[in-house]
């Protein structure tokens, strides 16, 4: 079943109106766990659609999923080996990473519940609250006034950072208007790969140079992810505004290469795309070690996936506000939002609180009627030490 977004989110390549929900149910001995799949219904330029990931999950060929549990306090980097059927010849592809991220989350959720441990504690996250970033899309009529109105609505929620979608011919005007309305706000421009080097048209990358005087936090994914990284690095050297990469960062190797070439000055880390919690923790550690600011990006998750992203946003390597606004702010129906019931535990304005409850996030009790889960047995059980 698709959950509807409250508003259409327009990008340079189309618009998002609905969010399909798929859960993986980890059937362990005595404790169950749940994982949420990040795949979108129609996919993206680098991520396959949900149907492709579902097919991969339904054709695993290794029987029970290897267990997650170990003695002592666990190391997030010691992830288990993915089951057969996720790694075609040549290594795990995009569908495999999305599928594995959901499986990993479900297994980890079960293990953490058994150990009465929260995901934030397991990751070693020390901060209970983390800053929240917001997102606004492009209106269908490309009217700047609508962008400003959308920015006002999102900023009213208290976000500490705002991502603004741009496209060729609709970049300077909306960003300039939002900057004038919010002179002190951290603003990022998100191009979704819509520009080209030397095209001599409205999508020419030189059109991004006049944005330097707007004091943007970064320009995200200016070129398509299939363009050579040296072209991105050349643009980054010309711009005063840092260049961020999103769709180009499909795995650990891509991140390392992008940083090494100078193409990635800011990193958008999306757990589902990278392959899950352990992969994202490793990516954040790499970014911190190499002085690259990073933030957690989202796929319009429901409460479970958003809770996981919130915990990951507390990692030391994630120094920028992540896409962790509450699902109730963007989904027409926001099941398992995971918000604290105690008013005394509500986070400060503009921040989200990491969960201190056992597990990866709130179980999708309400959502089980909204989406058919895929259940997987788990083998090799060993208690996760507290």
Annotation marks residue 127 as catalytic? no
Q: How far apart are CA 266 and CA 333, in angstroms?
A: 32
Where are the alpha helices (H) located in 89-141, listed in sequence order? 94-115, 119-123
Catalytic residue, from 270, 273, 306, 353: name it: 270
Residue with tokens 């006034």: 145
On the CB side of 184, how many CA atoms lie within 13 Å of its CA?
A: 1
Starting at the earlier edge strand, list the strands of the sheet with 32-36. 32-36, 23-27, 374-379, 65-66
Strand partners, 218: 188
**Residue 149 backbone dihedrals phi, psi, to 5 degrees:** -65, -40
Catalytic residue, from 19, 25, 160, 165: name it: 165
Region at 90 (left for phi over 0; alpha for psi -120 to 50; beta for the rest): left
Q: How far apart are CA 86 and CA 96, in angstroms?
A: 5
Annotation marks residue 198 as catalytic? no
Starting at the earlier edge strand, list the strands of the sheet with 243-245. 133-136, 161-165, 186-190, 218-220, 243-245, 266-269, 294-296
Residues carrying an active site annotation? 165, 270
């Amino acid at each position: 079943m698709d959950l509807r977004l409250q508003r259409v989110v327009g990008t340079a390549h189309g618009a998002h109106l609905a969010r399909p929900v798929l859960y993986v149910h980890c059937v362990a001995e005595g404790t169950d766990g749940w994982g949420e799949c990040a795949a979108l219904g129609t996919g993206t330029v680098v991520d396959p659609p949900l149907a492709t990931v579902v097919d991969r999950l339904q054709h695993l060929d290794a029987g029970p999923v290897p267990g997650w549990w170990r003695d002592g306090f666990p190391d997030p980097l010691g992830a288990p080996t993915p089951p057969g059927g996720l790694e075609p010849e040549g290594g795990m592809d995009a569908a495999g990473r999305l599928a594995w991220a959901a499986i990993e989350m479900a297994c980890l959720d079960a293990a953490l519940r058994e150990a009465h441990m929260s995901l934030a504690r397991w990751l070693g996250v020390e901060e209970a609250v983390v800053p929240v970033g917001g997102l606004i899309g492009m209106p269908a009529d490309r009217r700047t006034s609508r962008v400003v109105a959308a920015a006002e609505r999102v900023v009213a929620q208290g976000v500490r950072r705002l991502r603004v979608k741009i496209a060729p011919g609709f970049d300077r005007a909306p960003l300039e208007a939002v900057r004038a309305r919010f002179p002190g706000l951290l603003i990022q421009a998100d191009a979704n790969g819509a520009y080209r080097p030397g095209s001599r048209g409205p999508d020419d990358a030189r059109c991004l140079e006049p944005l330097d005087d707007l004091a943007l936090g970064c320009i995200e994914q200016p070129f398509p992810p299939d363009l050579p990284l040296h072209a991105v690095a050349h643009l980054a050297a010309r711009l005063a505004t840092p260049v961020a990469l999103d769709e180009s960062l499909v795995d650990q190797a891509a991140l390392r290469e992008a940083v090494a070439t100078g193409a990635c000055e800011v990193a958008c880390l999306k757990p589902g795309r990278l392959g899950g919690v352990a992969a994202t923790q490793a990516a954040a550690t790499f970014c911190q070690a190499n002085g690259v600011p990073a933030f957690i990006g989202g796929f319009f998750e429901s409460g479970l996936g958003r809770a996981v992203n919130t915990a990951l946003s507390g990692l030391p390597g994630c120094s920028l506000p992540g896409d962790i606004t509450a699902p109730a702010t963007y989904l027409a129906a926001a099941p398992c939002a995971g918000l604290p019931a105690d008013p005394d535990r509500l986070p400060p304005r503009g921040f989200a609180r990491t969960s201190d409850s056992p597990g990866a996030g709130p179980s999708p009790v309400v959502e089980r009627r909204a989406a058919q889960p895929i259940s997987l047995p788990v083998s090799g059980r060993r208690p996760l030490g507290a």
